[in-house]
Structure 1
Amino acid sequence: MPVRPLLSLLALALLLSGCDRHVNQLREQRFAPFSEIEPVKVAPSALVASLKANGSGSFTAESLANLNTLLRAQGRLRQQTLTLQPYTPSGERLAQRLADVLRAQGAVSEQVIVMPSRLEAPQAGEWDLQVVSEALVVKVPDCSIANPDAWTVKPYQAIGTLGCANRANIAAMVSDPRDLVRPQALDGGDGIGAVNAVGRYHDDDVRELLDIDFQD
Structure 2
Amino acid sequence: MYCFDCGALLKEDHQDEHLWATMDYVTKAPHESYFNKIKEYAERHPENPYAQKIFGNALFHTGNLIEAEARYRAALDLDPTNIELLYDLCIVLYYQARLTEALRELQKLLKVAPEYSAAHYRIGLTYYHLGQFDEAIYHFKKCASLTPDYEMAHFHLGIVYAKTGKVEEAINEFNHQLDIDLKDSACRHHLEDLFVKKWKREEAKAEH
TM range (shorter): under 0.3
- More strand per residue: 1
Q: Higher relative contact order by CA 8 Å / sep ≥ 6: 1 or 2?
A: 1
Per the normalisation by structure 1, the TM-score is 0.23
- More helix per residue: 2
